Amino acid sequence: MSVEPRFFNRELSWLEFNQRVLDEASDPTIPLLERLKFLAITASNLDEFTMVRVGSLQLLEAEGDMRPDPVGLTTSQQLKAIGERMQAFMTEQYRCLLSDLEPALTEAGMRRVSPNELNDRQTQHIQMIFEQEVFPILTPLAVLSPSTASATALAAASTESSPRKSKATKKKAAAKTPESFTTSSDAQDDPEAAIFPPLINQSISLCVRLAPTNGSSAPRFAIVPFGRNRQRFITLPADSGFSYILLEDVVSMFLTQFFPGETIEESVAFRITRNADLELQEDQASDLLSVMQEIVNARRQSDCVRLELADHASPCLREFLQSAVDIPDRWVFAAPGPIDLAAFFRLCDSQGFDALRYEPWPPKPSPQIAPSESLFEAISHRDVLLYHPYESFDSVVRFVDEAADDPDVLAIKQTLYRTSAKSPIVAALKRAAQKGKYVTAVVELKARFDEQRNIEWARDLERADVQVVYGVKGLKTHAKLCLIVRREAQGIQRYVHFGTGNYNEITSRIYSDVSLMTCNEDLGADATSFFNAVTGYSQPQRFRQIEMAPLGLREKLMEMIEAEIDHKRHKQKAMIIGKLNALVDEKMIEALYAASQAGVRIRLNIRGVCCLRPGVPGLSENITVTGVIDRFLEHARILYFYHGGDERVFISSADWMPRNLDRRVELLVPVEDKVCRRNLLSILKTTLSDNVKAKRLLPDGHYEPVRASTTGEPIRSQEVLYRRMSETIEDAARAALATFEPHRAANQDE
C-alpha cells in the first residue's frame, strides 16, 4: 500500500501557481486587455522558470546527480513530469489566445493581420517599413548542415568563457571538434567561424531553409536573428480600430531581398531559452563586480534548455535546429501561434481601448502624512504603516528625498536589491553624498536578472562618493531597510524604513507590499547593528527586536510556532496566520504539521509555491491554504501568532524557503504600534475572507475556487482594500474641512 508523500514537489507546485494565473486569462468576466496581460505574465513567468529551475535540473541530470527530492522524485523523474506539464500548459495558453482572446479582441477593434489578409494599401505600407526600418538593420547568417552534426561541441565552443559548464558538456567537448556548421564559404579553414550563431536568449529569430545547389541534396539553412530591441508589433493602416502585423511575418514576406536568386523552401520563427543558473565562485572572486559582469555575458552563450518554434516547421528544419542547439524532443515546444507570448504585454497599453481594461485604481496618498508636514515630523509623532499600492510609494521616495536635502541629516544607509531604470531613490542617495552626507548603499549584485542594472548603479553611486558594499560574501542581501541618522535638538535620532518589497517605485504600483516607518529607539539601534554587520567585519550582535537570516530568523519562527503548540497543550486558544509568497522549507512545514496535530488552527495565504499538503487527516487537518491572484501581485509577508492573547505581528522580507532562511540576509520585524498592528490584522482578515479571487489548495495539489455561500456576500479582497483606503482618504479630507485655521498677521502675537 503506497504512502502519500508529506510534501508537494516544488516545481510542479510552481506550475500550478502559473496555471492559476492562466485561469485569469481565461476568465470571461475580466476585461479583454487584462486577460491578455495575464496570458503574457504566464509566458514571462515560464521563461524565468525554464531558465532557472529547468536549467538547474538539467545541469544536475547531466552531472549524474539523481538524489531524490522531498517527494521522492529523482532529477530525471522531475524533468519528465515538468516537461509533460509544460507541454500541456502551452497547449492551453494557445487555446486561450487563438480561440478566446484574439477573436474577442478582433471584434473589439484590435486585430492581428496575417500576410495573406493584407490589402493593397497595407502591403505597400509594410514594404516601405521593411525597406526603411528592417532590411538595413537585420543581418542574415548562412549556416551549413553536413550529414554528421557535432552540435554539442559547438555548444561547448560557444560557452568557452562561461563560469559554469556541466561535467557532461566538458567531456563531450573534449571528444569532438567544432566542425559541423559554418557561417561562411571559407569557414572550414577557420575553427572560430564554425559555431552556430550565438543567438540572444529569448530573442525571436527566423530559420530559413534554402533549396540545395550544385547538384547536392543536402539542405541549406540561414538564420535571421531579430535581437531584443526590434519592434515586434507593426501598426497597419486601417479604416477603424487597431490592426497590426508581427515582425516575423513581415520579414518572411520579403526574405528574397536577403537571399536574391535563392529558392526559399520554408521559413520558421523560433526562439531558444538558455540556462541562467550559472554558478558564482565568490571565494575565488577578487573583483565581484567584474565577475558578475562575466556571469551576465555568459548567459548569452550558456546551454540551451528549451527550443520553441512554429508548429508548421518541417521535420528537416526541426531536426536541424534541435541538433544545432543540442536539445532532446522533450524540450522542443511547437507553437500553433506566435511564439514569445510575453511580448504581448506591449499591446495591453494600446491607446483608445480603455473599455477593455480595469477601471483605474491609482495609489492614494497616505492619510497619516499631511502634504505640508515633514516626514520626520510625522514619524516622530507616530509609527507610519503603508500598504502599497493602495497607499502611494511616494512617501517612501520622499523619505529618502527629504533626507538628502535636510541639513540636519548626517547619514543615510540603505539596501538596494532591485530598483527601477531611473530610480529617484538612487538619485537622492547620490545627491546626499554630493552634499557631504555619509551615504552607504548595500547593492546586491547577485539579484538574478537585475545584475546588469545593479552593476551600473553601483558604479554610478561610487562615482558620486557613495560608499558601496556589494552585499555579503556567500549570501544575497534581500532585506529591505533604510536608516537615516539625523541631528535634532534632543540629540541624535534614527529614522528607519522597513519593507517587504523592493525600493522600486515602478513595481510598487502593481506589487502589494508593506512599509513601516518608525523612530522607535530599539528598531533604530537594530538597524544600526544590521548595517554594521553587513558592511564590516564585525560579528553580528544580538538584536533587541528584529531577527536576521541566516542567523536567528528561522529560530525565532520555530520558537513562535512552538509557543502556539504549548498554549494549545494547556487548553488555551492558539492560532497562526501567515501571508507569504512561497512555502517550501521542509523544517518549517514539519513545524506547522506538528502544530496542526496539536490542534493549533493555521490559516495560510500563499500566493505561489506551497509544498505543504493541507487538510490531510492526522497530518494537517487544521491547516487551510488559499491564494489570491488578482490585478495586483500579492507580495507582502505578514505573520500573526495569537501567543496566549498577547498577539504578535511581524512583517518580513523572507518567504519560508531554504534560500531565504539559510542563504540570504533577510529581516523579520515585529510591529508593536497598536494602530499599525490593527491595520495589518485587518489586511490579513480581508485577504483570508476573499471568495471571488481566492482559490483553496486541496490535499491532492489542485486548487478549487473559494466561493461565497448562497447567502454570503461576495468579497474581492483587493477591491475591498482599495475602496476602504479611498473612504479613509475622503473621511480625512472631510475632517480637515471641518477644522478652521485662521490666517494671522505676520507680526501678531500668538
| Pick from 156, 5, 16: nearest CA to 70 | 5
Write out pLDDT tens, residues 450-488: 566 667 777 888 899 999 888 788 888 999 999 999 999
Condensed to tens digits (0 to 9), the pLDDT of residues 312-352 reads 999 999 999 998 888 999 999 999 999 999 999 999 999 99
H helices present in 407-450, as ranges:
424-434
pLDDT tens track for 247-287: 999 999 999 999 998 999 999 999 999 887 654 444 444 44
Q: Which fold has domain 10-356?
A: polyphosphate kinase like (3.30.1840)
Question: Does residue 41 come out as left (phi exceeding 0), alpha (psi in the -120 to 50 range) or beta?
Answer: alpha
Which residue from 564, 567, 576, 724 is spatially nearest to 650, judged by alpha carbons? 576
| Greatest mean pLDDT among 181-185, 325-329, 537-541 | 325-329
In the chain, where the domains are located: 10-356, 375-545, 549-731
User: In the prediction, which pLDDT does 458 show?
Assistant: 77
What is the share, in percent, of the chain residues with pLDDT greater than 70? 84
| CATH 3.30.870.10 corresponds to the domain 549-731 | yes
SS3 annotation, 231-290: CCEEEECCCCCEEEEEHHHHHHHCHHHCCCCCCEEEEEEEEEEECCCCCCCHHHCCCHHH
Cis ω for the linkage preceding 550 (within 30 of 0):
yes
3-state secondary structure of 674: helix
- At 191 the pLDDT is 34
Calculated CA dihedral for residues 395, 400, 405, 406, nearest 10 degrees: 80
How far does Cα 729 stand from its chain's mean position?
A: 31
**Chain Cα centroid distance, residue 546:** 26
Q: Is 478 a catalytic residue?
A: yes
Quick one: which of 370, 389, 391 has its CA closest to 379?
A: 370
Greatest Cα pair distance, the chain, in angstroms, is: 105
Give the model's pLDDT for residue 446. Answer: 67
The pLDDT value given to residue 18: 97
The candidate with the shortest Cα–Cα distance to 546, out of 481, 598, 458, is 481
pLDDT in tens, 67-115: 899 999 999 999 999 999 999 999 999 999 999 999 999 999 999 999 9
Which of the residue ranges 283-292, 449-458, 686-695, 734-743 would you say has the lowest mean pLDDT? 283-292
Which stretch of 294-308, 371-385, 413-427, 599-613 has the lowest confidence by average pLDDT? Answer: 294-308
Helices (H) and strands (E) in the chain, counts: 21, 27
Tell me what pLDDT residue 457 has.
Answer: 73
At 183 the pLDDT is 33
User: Does the pLDDT at position 729 exceed 70?
Assistant: yes
Q: Is the pLDDT of residue 187 over 50?
A: no
The model's pLDDT over 579-624, given as tens digits with 9 standing for 90+, comes to 999 999 999 999 999 999 999 999 999 999 999 999 999 999 999 9
Is 23 exposed, middle or buried (CB count within 10 Å of its CB: 0-12, 13-18, 19+)? middle
Tell me the pairing of strands 220-225 and 205-210.
Answer: antiparallel
DSSP 498-546: EESS-S-TTGGGTEEEEEEEE--HHHHHHHHHHHHHHHSSPPPPPPSS-
Alpha helices in 624-716 (DSSP H): 658-662, 674-688
The span from the CA of 460 to the CA of 426, in Å, is: 9
The residue to which cell 509557543 is assigned: 563
Q: How far apart are CA 223 and CA 248, in angstroms?
A: 12
Host H or E run for residue 556: helix 553-569
Q: What is the pTM of this model?
A: 0.88
How confident is the model at residue 697, as a pLDDT? 97
Percentage of the chain lying above the pLDDT 90 cut? 70
Confidence of residue 198 (pLDDT cuts 50, 70, 90): low
pLDDT at position 144? 59
Q: Are 196 and 143 in contact (CB under 8 A)?
A: yes
d(CA 392, CA 371): 13
Which among 125, 312, 478, 497 is annotated as catalytic? 478
Give the residue carrying C-alpha cell 486601417: 238
319 or 732, higher pLDDT: 319
Q: Which of 289-298, 356-365, 476-485 has the lowest mean pLDDT?
A: 289-298
* The CATH number of the domain covering residues in 375-545: 3.30.870.10
Q: Do domains 375-545 and 549-731 have the same CATH topology?
A: yes
The rounded distance, in Å, linking the Cα atoms of 687 and 691 is 9
- Closest-CA residue to 687 (of 294, 273, 387): 387
Q: What is the pLDDT of residue 76?
A: 94
Choose from 1-10, 178-187, 670-679 the range with maximum mean pLDDT: 670-679
Instruction: Pick the closest to residue 480 from 430, 530, 446, 520 (CA basis).
Output: 530
The secondary structure of the chain in percent helix, strand, coil, rounded to multiples of 5, reads: 40, 20, 40
Find where cell 455561500 sits: 709
147-162 residue pLDDT tens: 333 333 333 223 333 3
Instruction: Specify the pLDDT at position 290.
Output: 54
pLDDT bracket for residue 417 (50, 70, 90): confident
673 near 382, Cβ under 8 Å?
yes
Contact 378, 370 (CB under 8 A): yes
What is the pLDDT confidence band of residue 518, given thresholds at 50, 70 and 90?
very high
Q: What is the pLDDT of residue 719?
A: 97
pLDDT band at 630 (very low <50, low <70, confident <90, very high): very high
pLDDT mean over 13-35: 97
- Residue 666: closest CA among 675, 678, 658: 658
**What's the 3-state SS for 315-339?**
HHHHHHHHHHHCCCHHHEEEECCCC
Q: Is residue 652 within a helix (H) or strand (E), and if so which, with residue range? A: strand 648-652
Is the pLDDT at 296 greater than 60? The verdict is no
- Annotate 5-68 with DSSP letters as a single string: PSB--HHHHHHHHHHHHHHHHT-TTS-HHHHHHHHHHHHHHHHHHIIIIIHHHHHHHHTT----
Taking all residues of the chain, what is their mean pLDDT, rounded to a whole number?
Answer: 86
